[in-house]
């Protein structure tokens, strides 16, 4: 199999931490998966006298989206090796100088959590390639059907989790309360799963996180908040916490409900999403679309909306803009000769810490 397996993803993260001790910190997530696997994240940044703003990126949430782990592992390796060698980075037709790489790691900390769902990835790579959920059988109620195992981790966060109450009857949000739904079962309660609790814990440990990206596939989109309804910046009382609007959310083009977002936040989110899409186009000529999550389809319990909602629910929590990138046009694209996740990267003097063959050496996208 050309993609990194679960052991190799974890080995890549720990190897990078060992090879670059002055620029990295290995973070052990506190809760093992149902099958007993421990996950790690990698914090990357130049040492500083005071805490710095943080960008958090997670991947491997949906088991069948194999390349998301490689994207984050190779991003980490690219940045660290370019910083060490003073070579800068080149991706297709776009280049970044050594000064830009160093400046990024001086100004920001970058936290990469490549494999949120190790059990699901292992099952997808060894048994059922199109498997999406984790492997927790606790909610199957004794039903032996294979589809009744697992929870869709990207519906398990605490944002409008009670979608039956929150959404209009005809909204059809892409979420389910049926444990035997093989795709979008949300689980019995918010954060019922150790994998989503690990993400929540990581956010709590890094209160200066200001931007969050969940790496998924596929559709070539860059999604920003919100995912439950269209955005509006006029009426702050029309928001996900207000039960007066229960049963009204999720319908496109209506005047009954739209989710409140401060104009400055939406302007910033749109600007960043557009810049991302422009950057991908500059590298490989691909046309990604910037849009709110709702315009892909209505959802609840997703990571990007949860991270942004934290500040509304508790103003003591720092504001985090949430994004989801949907890379590529299929779940298991074949490997190509160029290395590097979304774009296909090339850099000088690589040490190839992250593997030895196939996509372990060249990257998948």
For residue range 218-261, what is the model confidence (pLDDT) as tens digits? Answer: 999 999 999 999 999 999 999 999 999 999 999 999 999 999 99
Are the C-beta atoms of 53 and 208 separated by less than 8 Å? yes
The Cα–Cα gap between 124 and 44 comes to: 29
User: How many separate domains does the chain show?
Assistant: 1
Residue that has been written with the tokens 């990581």 in this structure: 202
DSSP 8-class letter at 207: T
- What are the φ/ψ torsions at residue 226 (nearest 5 degrees)? -110, 170
First to last CA, the chain: 15
Q: What pTM was estimated for this model as a whole?
A: 0.92
- CATH number, domain of 291, equals 3.40.630.10
Give residue-wise pLDDT tens across range 161-200.
999 999 999 999 999 999 999 999 999 999 999 999 999 9
Give domain status of residue 1, yes or no.
no
Give domain status of residue 25, yes or no.
yes
Cα 347 vs. chain centroid, distance in angstroms? 25
The pLDDT profile of the chain, 365 residues, written as one tens digit per residue, is: 489 999 999 999 999 999 999 999 999 999 999 999 999 999 999 999 999 999 999 999 999 999 999 999 999 999 999 999 999 999 988 999 999 999 999 999 999 999 999 999 999 999 999 999 999 999 887 788 899 999 999 999 999 999 999 999 999 999 999 999 999 999 999 999 999 999 999 999 999 999 999 999 999 999 999 999 999 999 999 999 999 999 999 999 999 999 999 999 999 999 999 999 999 999 989 999 999 999 999 999 999 999 999 999 999 999 999 999 999 988 999 865 334 433 334 443 333 333 323 343 333 33
> Domain span at residue 338?
6-362
Give domain status of residue 348, yes or no.
yes
CA triple 312-177-172, angle to 5 deg: 75
Residue that has been written with the tokens 């949906």 in this structure: 62
């Amino acid at each position: 199999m050309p993609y990194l397996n679960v052991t190799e993803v974890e080995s890549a993260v720990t190897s990078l931490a060992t090879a670059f001790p002055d620029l990295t910190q290995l973070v052990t997530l506190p809760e093992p998966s149902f099958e007993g696997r421990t996950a790690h994240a990698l914090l990357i940044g130049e040492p500083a006298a005071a805490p710095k703003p943080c960008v958090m990126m997670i991947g491997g949430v949906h088991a069948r989206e194999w390349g998301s782990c490689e994207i984050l592992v190779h991003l980490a390796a690219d940045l660290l090796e370019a910083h060490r060698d003073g070579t800068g980075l080149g991706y297709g037709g776009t280049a970044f100088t050594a000064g830009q790489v160093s400046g990024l790691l001086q100004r920001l900390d970058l936290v990469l959590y490549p494999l949120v769902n190790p059990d699901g990835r292992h099952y997808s790579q060894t048994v059922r390639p199109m498997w999406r959920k984790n492997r927790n059988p606790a909610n199957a109620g004794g039903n032996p059907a294979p589809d009744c195992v697992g929870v869709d981790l990207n519906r398990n966060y605490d944002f409008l989790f009670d979608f039956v109450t929150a959404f209009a009857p005809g909204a059809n949000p892409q979420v389910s309360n049926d444990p035997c739904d093989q795709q979008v079962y949300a689980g019995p309660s918010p954060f019922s799963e150790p994998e989503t609790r690990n993400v929540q814990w990581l956010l709590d440990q890094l209160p200066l996180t200001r931007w969050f990206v969940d790496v998924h596939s596929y559709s070539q989109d860059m999604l920003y908040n919100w995912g439950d309804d269209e955005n509006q910046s006029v009426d702050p009382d029309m928001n996900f916490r207000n039960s007066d609007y229960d049963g009204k959310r999720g319908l496109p083009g209506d005047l009954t409900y739209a989710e409140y977002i401060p104009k400055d936040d939406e302007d910033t989110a749109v600007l960043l999403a557009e810049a991302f899409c422009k950057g991908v186009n500059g590298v490989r000529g691909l046309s990604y679309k910037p849009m709110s999550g709702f315009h892909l389809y209505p959802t609840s319990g997703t990571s990007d909306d949860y991270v942004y909602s934290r500040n509304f629910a508790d103003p003591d929590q720092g504001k985090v803009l949430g994004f989801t990138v949907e890379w590529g046009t299929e779940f298991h694209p074949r490997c190509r000769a160029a290395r590097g996740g979304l774009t296909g990267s090339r850099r000088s003097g690589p040490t190839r810490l992250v593997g030895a063959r196939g996509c372990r050496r060249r990257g998948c996208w």
